[in-house]
Structure 1
Amino acid sequence: MPSSTSLPSSWQYDVPTSGSTRLPPDAGYAKALTNQGYSFEAAVADLVDNAIDAEADAIVVHFLRADARIVSLLVLDNGRGMDDAGLDRAMTVGRRRDYGGHALGMYGTGLKAASLSHARSLTVISRTRRSRAAGRKLTAEGIEDGFRCDTVEPAFAQQQIDVYDGLIEWQGTIVRWDRVRAFETVAPGQSEQFLSKAISRLETHLGLYLHRFLSRGLKLDIAVWDVATGEETDHISVDALDPFGYKLPGRAGYPKKFSASVEGVGQVGLEAHIWPPRSNLAGFRQIGAVHDRQGFYFYRNDRLVQAGGWSNLRSPEGHLALARVAVDLPDEVNDVFSLTVKKDGVEVTPAFTLGVHEAVDAAGAEWGSYILDAQVAYREGTSRSNIERPSVIEPGKGLDPKVKRAVREELPLKNGEEPIRVDWVALPEGQFFQLDRENHIILLNRDFREDFNDGRRGGANDAPVTKALLYLLLQDCFGLGRWEKRRADRIEYWNNILFAAVQAQRERRNRIDY
């Protein structure tokens, strides 16, 4: 290939054209649209992004169950909503809308591509303060049939809004997935296990990638609703999983702010962090393998779009496991940083890595000093002796997610053991709890449920203090071989004392009420 200095004077950088032809997409585009490689968590996160862009401050991801099967998924928000014209624009395949400077959306394909990657049917129902409830339905078959989009019956759209009037009062949107491929492959007897794992992964993903919004007050919940009984069977609040949320840094003087001069962009800030060694905090341990989470954390408009990796700057290594760097991408469109359509990674040109190599902080310290400090902090941490805490069986369903997270942060978990559940059930008179050791369940006497829920019925993760205390008392009674008489006697006198305590609590409350 000739060098730039040897190009002839007649060289044309732009290829000349003599006309143009409009080529609409073929109906086969539907297959490409539904095969974008979105993970389930990334697809749902894309829908949540749209809700945030619509100025929602409360969002619920709702799994619907019927006859022991998972049938649909809904994402509900109390944002500004859309009228008929807005719905038509949102559901037009290939149409890119104008995004504001701080919007999380970029390409205009997320709603359709993310949804149809997992569901054969996408329905969007919405209303604004000035328009009635309206809806549109898009299916893979409809796209193949000339990009057909169906109009939802107005009465049905209003009925769906009414079901969720606790969230959508004057305005809001419901995005609904039906015929979800993953749900259709789950056998009735496996739905509980599938939901538990799916919700756990989703909670982690949303908590991490949207942690800045959650820390500022965004209310984001995940719930399970039984359409047959009309009851909510599970409900958790998603908490922020801050990948920089340590209490004290692993090295004095950190975090440090470096500045990299990047050609084509200008100055790019690099906030360099060093985690404390051996941390069990959720933001360090529970967002994936520690080895994979070192490196750059790119943010676009406060939304995390890449969680770790050195972006061709260097290879990951064990001695850099504590090193994490926050980078807020420039607002202006540029050729150096390219965000993936799924918003799960950033491609950078060599201009960025060259700039990082030469980055300095305010005191003139070079980028290489940060790498050395992170390596030293890791080596010193591995050489320190720590008090070993006992391993415990993982807490499971019935315990509040905040309790489960605290246990995982504070104590090592035993491998190969089923999590311990806590259920309210009918028990004989005089018993506060029983153990189902075979199935790893702590059974609580449901006659006392209201006593621990201020007179209310409570939900799946109710009475968190009571359940947490019982878990800590009883977790070592599971996963054992021989059941010792001394242990059985301990369970008996704990039960008797706790039964007396709950009776005393009930009598005291009755006296106060009287």
Structure 2
Amino acid sequence: MREIQHPPHAPSLLESMRSIGYSLESALADLIDNSISAKAKRINIEFRPSDVPYIAIIDDGEGMSKDALESAMRHGSTNPLQMRHKDDMGRYGLGLKTSSLSQCRRMTVVSLRNGVLCAYCWDLDVVVERRSWIMLELDVDDIEDLPHVELLRAEGQGTMVLWQNLDRLTAGESSLDAALGQQMDHARSHLSLVFHRFITPEFGRSRVSLSINQNALAPIDPFLQNHKATQPLDEDNFNVEGSRIVVKPFILPHISKLSPDELNRAGGSDGFRNQQGFYIYRNRRLIIWGTWFRLARKDELSKLARVRVDIPNSLDHLWTLDIKKSAAHPPEAVRFNLRRTIERIRHVSGRTITFRGRSAERGDLVPGWHEVMDRNGVRFDINRGHPSIQEFSRHLAKADAATFDAVLAIIESSFPAEALYSRMASDVRSSFNGEEISGRLREMATALFADIDFMSPVRRTLLATLHLIEPFNQHPAVTKKIVEELEKND
């Protein structure tokens, strides 16, 4: 037996690696990982769809020497089995090259460190023509001809990755401007979510400024931590192979308490219900989200539950993290601990949906409907003791009262439970705006108090407890005004 050198065919391998599965947003995220690992505090993405289109990613990180940059441009420059610094965002030593060449045919990296500027380039057309692993080294004049080099010089240090010949982004598109603009809009939302913990300063950590064409990205917090109705649950942590994993559950507000913008940012293009589940962060960078890892089903009662899971890069080998850092699967030891969290948070999430908007205890509330559970399942009965129904019924003759009760029974038997469940699952909000709700409540209050004597103790009791009666309890501000107006008339 003898050993022989059998290197891969450069053009074939590089062309094949372009189809590894990167999207524009995941490719950009990979480069931002590198910038953060280089301790960058400002990262700007410049894209120009007109004339000769290009995309440039510029940071103010530590920069690289000529030797370091040449090594970084090598495919497989890092062994994934070697121990890395705890803040290192990389893994395979392939991200810079594979992510860039998945989107363009020519990628150039320029770096400035200690006043020395250097640059190397992979041009697929050169590799194909020469049928060899030919990399280009740029001289001073070549570098000065590149766009945005002046921004790099202004920072005093840092790195720029330049994508040219954007064949994948423009393939099959009639309008380059529209196609690239639309893709960058999607990338903007993606990056705002994936790096939201870097864009928003956390205790003991400095903030990273991330922008596109000098426009700063606003963080998208999937847990809505600044919303007063969000319920953070107790944090849990456990060790796997000596490394600490931190689990922090959140129960989001019911959709009725969210503005359209909040609902859109929390739900994204996939919808509010589909975003429930675990949110896995590797060194604070979101790598996978909106999944229960087959430990539970996505259903209506758990759609408000989201769980932040922080993992270190020392456990990459257990999570089977892929090159793109967009797919991972928890090992058995982690699944065991995550399963303990699920039932607790699903119970709280379900309770938030079932009893949404009720500030008083259920015993104090006068509901419009009663939820009745029996051996046949769940049904909803109209509360015959509701003040509005009692007030209406007391004016009816005996025969009319029986007819009225039969009408209520018909309404109960035709309660559209399945349609309601379907609408809730699709995040449909109430169709009434503020003015419509206010008008309806005033009409109901007027009818409720119309035939009650001004001096009656029943009237005083109703005024004092109107905020506990459905549907008035769901709109406390409007109800307070209605009560004040009625009291003035007394």
TM-score bracket for the superposition, by shorter chain length:
0.5 to 0.7
- Aligned residue for 1:333, secondary structure, equals helix
Q: Which residue of 1 aligns with 2:212?
A: 222
Q: Amino acid of the residue matched to residue 24 of structure 1?
A: P
1:105 and 2:116 correspond: no
Separation in 1 of the partners of 2:121 and 2:148? Answer: 19
Quote the residue 2:351 is aligned against.
Answer: 376
Q: CA deviation at 1:284?
A: 1.0
Partner amino acid, structure 1, of 2:16? A
User: Are residues 162 and 114 of structure 1, via their aligned partners in 2, closer, same or farther at CA, if it must alter by over 3 Å?
Assistant: closer
Show the counterpart of 1:355. Answer: 337
Following TM superposition, by how much is the alpha carbon of 1:333 offset from its aligned partner in structure 2, in angstroms?
Answer: 3.2
Q: Of Structure 1 and Structure 2, which has the larger fraction of its residues in helix?
A: 2
Q: 1:302 aligns with which of 284, 288, 297?
A: 284
Q: How does 1:24-423 map to 2 (within 5 A)?
A: 24-27=7-10, 28-67=12-51, 71-96=53-78, 99-131=84-116, 133-144=117-128, 145-160=131-146, 163-165=149-151, 168-185=154-171, 190-216=175-201, 217-223=207-213, 235-248=214-227, 254-259=232-237, 264=241, 268-278=245-255, 279-280=258-259, 281=262, 283-286=265-268, 288-333=270-315, 335-358=317-340, 367-381=342-356, 388-389=432-433
Amino acid aligned to 1:240: P
**Sequence identity of aligned pairs in percent?**
24
Structure 1 residues 168 and 293: alpha-carbon distance in aligned structure 2, compared to 1, 3 A threshold? farther
Q: How has the CA–CA distance of structure 1 residues 39 and 165 changed in structure 2, closer, same or farther, with 3 Å as cutoff? A: closer
Deviations 1:59-96 (Å, cap 9, x if unpaired)? 111112434xx611111111121222122111112221
* Offset from partner CA, 1:118-156 (integer Å, 9 cap, x none): 11111111211242x221110224445221101113222
For 1:81-114, what per-residue CA distance to the aligned partner results, in whole angstroms no more than 9, with x for missing partners? Answer: 1222122111112221674221111111001100
Q: 2:388 is matched with which residue?
A: none
Does the aligned pair in 2 maintain the 1:295–1:309 contact within 8 Å? Answer: yes
The separation in 2 between residues aligned to 1:152 and 1:167, in whole angstroms, is 17
* Counterpart-to-counterpart distance in 1, 2:110 and 2:24: 21
Query: For the structure 1 residues 248 and 185, does the alpha-carbon distance in structure 2 shift closer, same or farther, using more than 3 Å as the test?
Result: closer
**Retained in 1: the 8 A contact 2:105–2:165?**
yes
Alignment partners' CA distance in 1, 2:99 and 2:230: 41
Structure 1 residues 288 and 249 mapped into 2: Cα distance closer, same or farther (>3 Å)? farther
- The answer on whether the counterparts of 1:43 and 1:114 sit within 8 Å (CA) in structure 2 is yes
Distance of 1:243 and 1:205 partners within structure 2: 12
Partners of 1:193 and 1:161 lie apart in 2 by 22
Give 1:183 deviation, angstroms: 4.1
Q: Write the distance in 1 (CA, Å) between the matches of 2:428 and 2:63.
A: 55
Determine if contact 1:71/1:183 at 8 Å carries over to the other structure. no
Structure 2 match to 1:9: none
Residue 208 of structure 1 contacts residue 287 of structure 1 at CA under 8 Å; is this kept in 2? no
User: What are the superposed Cα offsets for residues 450-509 of structure 1, whole Å, 9 maximum, x if unpaired?
Assistant: xxxxxxxxxxxxxxxxxxxxxxxxxxxxxxxxxxxxxxxxxxxxxxxxxxxxxxxxxxxx
Q: Is the Cα–Cα contact under 8 Å of residues 44 and 114 in structure 1 kept in the other structure? A: yes
The 1:192/1:130 distance shift into structure 2, 3 A limit, reads closer
Q: Which moved more, 1:267-276 or 1:153-162?
A: 153-162
Instruction: Quote the Cα distance in structure 1 between the aligned partners of 2:294 and 2:228.
Output: 26
Larger radius of gyration: 2
Deviation readout 1:259-302 (Å, 9 max, x if unpaired): 4576x567633211100011341541336422321111111111
Match of 1:348, SS state, is: coil
CA contact (8 A) 1:269 1:327 kept: yes
Shift in Å, 1:369: 2.5
**2:163 and 2:428 mapped to 1: Cα distance?**
51
Aligned equivalents of 2:327, 2:229: Cα separation in 1: 27
Unaligned runs of 5+ in 1: 1-17, 224-234, 360-366, 391-514
**Unmatched 5+ stretches in structure 2:** 202-206, 357-423, 435-490
Under a length normalisation based on structure 1, what TM-score does the superposition of the two structures give?
0.62
Residue type at the aligned position of 2:15? K
Contact 1:294 1:308 (C-alpha < 8 Å) held by counterparts:
yes
Within 1, Cα distance between the matches of 2:162 and 2:288? 27
Cα displacement string for residues 293-349 of structure 1 (whole angstroms, at most 9, x for unaligned residues): 111111111111112211121222232211100001134336532222111121123
CA distance in 1, matches of 2:45, 2:433: 36
Instruction: Identify if the C-alpha distance between structure 1 residues 373 and 32 changes in structure 2 by more than 3 Å, giving closer, same or farther.
Output: same
- 1:35 offset after TM fit, Å? 1.3
**Is the CA contact 1:208–1:240 (under 8 Å) kept in the aligned structure 2?**
yes
Pair 1:259–1:84, CA change in 2 (3 A)? closer
Q: CA deviation digits over 1:198-237, x for unaligned, max 9?
A: 22211111100011110122111112xxxxxxxxxxx521
Partner of 2:320, secondary structure, is strand
Q: How many residues align?
A: 350
- Residue type of the alignment partner of 2:26: A
